[in-house]
Structures are given as structure tokens and as C-alpha cells.
Amino acid sequence: MLTVRMQRGPVTVAGLPEEIDHHNARQVGDQCGQLVGEGCRLLVLDASLTHYLDSSAITMLLILRRTVEEHAGSLRIAALNTHYRSIFARLGVDSLFSVYPTLTTALEQSQPTGMPSIAGYGGLDGAPVRV
């Protein structure tokens, strides 16, 4: 489901599946919640391969956002396609998420206080890695 591509201290980059719907949204959310429970404070979700989200996926992201914030963390969504960026705007949830056009831009943004820098970190273009 969720592919952890990089973990570095409290920072995790995870690839979302191609489709998130009522069949797997809860599992994806649970996997993300587990990362947060294990100490992730900056969760970057790579949506570059995601081509289908239904309402349960958006609900899962809203719940995840709340969970991350309750743990004094931050959630970023990278490479969400134009269609879903438009849907987020129509639903009025675009202002609730930090959405970046690419994974690189999400990683290059300044980190919250106490977070290690992850800009230019290797291992994100190849096979999934767990660091």
C-alpha cells in the first residue's frame, strides 16, 4: 500500500499507491498513522503515481492531517496531479494541506525547527529504501 521511500530522524517520505479508495484508504491512513506514532514529525506523501482518489481518500488525508498536527508535526503532499489539486480547491480543502508540485520542491522547503535538512537527500529516485 504505502511505500516508505526514506526515513531520516523525524522525517519520512512515503509514496502513495496508484489508487486510494474505500477499499484501501483506511489501511493507507493506518500505515501513515503508525509512522507518526513511531516518531515521524514531518510526513511527505509522494502522490506522483496516484491517479485515483475518492471521498474516503480525502477523508483519510483530513484525519491524517489532524493526527500529524496532534503530534506537533507537519504533513506535505508532493506531486498531486492537476485534476486532484482542482478537486481539493473545489472542496475547499486546498488551504488545509501543504501541496507541492514535485517531491523535490516539498523537500527543499524549510524544515520545522529541530528537523534535519532533507534537501538533496539521495535514495529517492530508485528502489524504496528505509534509512
pLDDT tens digits, residue range 75-91? 999 999 999 999 999 99
What's the whole-model pTM score?
A: 0.86
Whole-Å CA distances, 103 to 22, 48, 99, 113: 26, 8, 10, 20
Q: Letter for the amino acid at 43? A: L
Domain definitions of the chain by residue range: 3-108
Q: Indicate the CATH number for domain 3-108.
A: 3.30.750.24
Instruction: Give the three cell numbers for residue 131.
Output: 534509512
Residue 127 has pLDDT above 60, yes or no: no
> In this predicted model, what pLDDT tens digit does every residue of 43-77 receive, in sequence order?
999 999 999 999 999 999 999 999 999 999 999 99
Which is more confident, 97 or 114? 97
